[in-house]
Copies of this chain bind each other. A is one copy, B any other.
């Protein structure tokens, strides 16, 4: 049996930063045909951005350590899972001006399959309070979805555990920290057993400060063609379906069905209250129109109690996409989330864990039991609301 393999690719504390690196199963005496590689991109706004690719057979997963350990795409048995963002390049964080476009600058780099919104704040732009150096409360303009997706990883390591099948793990550490500000650390581990159709994302957020610290975390997991198309369905056992505004409310009757690419489509957002199973997990399924393909995600409500569905099914060229967004809260501005008690606080040194499990399904048989169980739950419990979600905004109070 080959030995456990461990390689550090980035470590800022030791000034380690590999440029181009790869390893194949055969190099390490493993059976099978899998590989892991690091590439440094060239050209345009992606100059210097690094991609880490895990080719584990059935799944090929591409991470972007330079962009906060996001996952840019997954290839499942030859089919690309992700979307086609107008931001086609992997934009380097130094080229992203978060404050621009009225606080929407984050959208200039947004192209990932899985991107994290957080950690000091997530959600919509706009003013919220913060504590300055003088200890006084002041107001700052939060920018859309925070900073973590635009911070390069300070550490990146690859581990392969021998076994049958072997287990590939890629772990990254991203620091969101500032003097007189937060000291939040994201430790993210992506795991795949070679040859399987299952992907695990295990995150820990640690408050390294000596004081308690608010945090927000919302996973923005995005799907476009070909999985998304007219007639594709979103399935999750939920109690309430809360349209985020009038516009979404007017379309609530088909909240869980997708339209095809529709030029001029304006986003529809639904805040959902998921119902966990006996183990505390919620199965969330995106099902292809033909019903024979899907991605099944499990979130744990003790970790991520909220779920948001974002439909942005505009023209293909404008980024035909839906976002499935498990989170500590919903994507409102932090001042609103706080008013509703959805902004967790970490004590000094405290850590929280967040696990997402993804299964990439093929064939009606694989999807059917999940579809049936979720449909049964929703028939009984699901109550789509026809009025926009009530929002307490302390600024308007």
* Chain A positions near chain B (C-beta within 8 angstroms): 10-17, 39, 41-48, 85-89, 92-95, 97-102, 104, 107-108, 110-111, 130, 132-135, 138-141, 143, 151-155, 175, 177-181, 183, 208-211, 245, 247, 263-264, 266-267, 312, 314-319, 348
Q: Do A140 and B10 have beta carbons less than 8 Å apart?
A: no
Extra A-B contacts (19), CB below 8 Å, given A99-B100, A210-B318: A10-B44, A12-B41, A12-B44, A12-B89, A14-B43, A15-B43, A16-B42, A17-B47, A43-B154, A44-B155, A45-B152, A47-B48, A85-B179, A87-B177, A94-B94, A99-B99, A102-B138, A107-B133, A210-B316
Give the shortest distance, in Å, between A286 (CB) and chain B (any CB). Answer: 20
In the complex, the answer to whether B98 meets A100 with C-beta atoms within 8 Å is: yes
Contact partner of A245 (CB less than 8 A), chosen from B39, B97, B134, is B134
Q: Which residue of B lies closest to A319 (CB)?
A: B179
Do B107 and A178 have beta carbons less than 8 Å apart?
A: yes
| CB-defined contacts of A98 to chain B, threshold 8 Å | 97, 100
Residues on the B chain within 8 Å of A179, using CB: 85-87, 107-108, 110-111, 319
Q: How far is the CB of A37 from chain B (nearest CB, A)?
A: 13
Q: Nearest chain-B residue to A50 (Cβ)? A: B47
- Decide if A132 touches B152 in the complex (CB within 8 Å): no
How far is B140's CA from A111's CA once the two chains are assembled, in angstroms? 23
Which residues of B are found within 8 Å of A210, using beta-carbon distances? 263, 314-318
Given A86-B183, A177-B87, A183-B86; A102-B139 close (CB under 8 Å) = yes
